[in-house]
Amino acid sequence: MRAELEPGLIDRLKRDHNFGTDEQLAAAIRCNVADVDALRNGSEPSYVTILAIATITGRETFDFVRRVNSDAA
């Protein structure tokens, strides 16, 4: 089982919290610019990034993280 962020969260964070660039957003959520793009496309976030997003948004739960079932081969 893996996890991903709720769809559209990265761009909402950038817009709602006035991050002008992906570099600024990456610094705020403790990752790099390549990770920001990967997160937009469903990459699994690190625990550090999840905690940073929770802090920025003021959420006390991680309800913005979705579990994704991997198909067994």
Quote the CA–CA distance of 19 and 21 in Å, as a whole number.
6
**The domain that contains 16 carries what CATH number?**
1.10.260
Determine the structural domain holding residue 15 and report its residue range: 2-68
pLDDT in tens, 45-68: 999 999 999 999 999 999 999 999
What is the value of pTM for the model shown?
A: 0.88
Q: Is residue 73 part of a domain?
A: no
Q: Is residue 16 part of a domain?
A: yes
Q: Is residue 6 part of a domain?
A: yes
Indicate left, alpha or beta for 71 from its phi (over 0: left) and psi (-120 to 50: alpha). Answer: beta
Q: Are 57 and 46 in contact (CB under 8 A)?
A: no
Instruction: Say how many domains are in the chain.
Output: 1
Q: Is residue 63 part of a domain?
A: yes
pLDDT in tens, 16-29: 999 999 999 999 99
At residue 69, the pLDDT reads 87
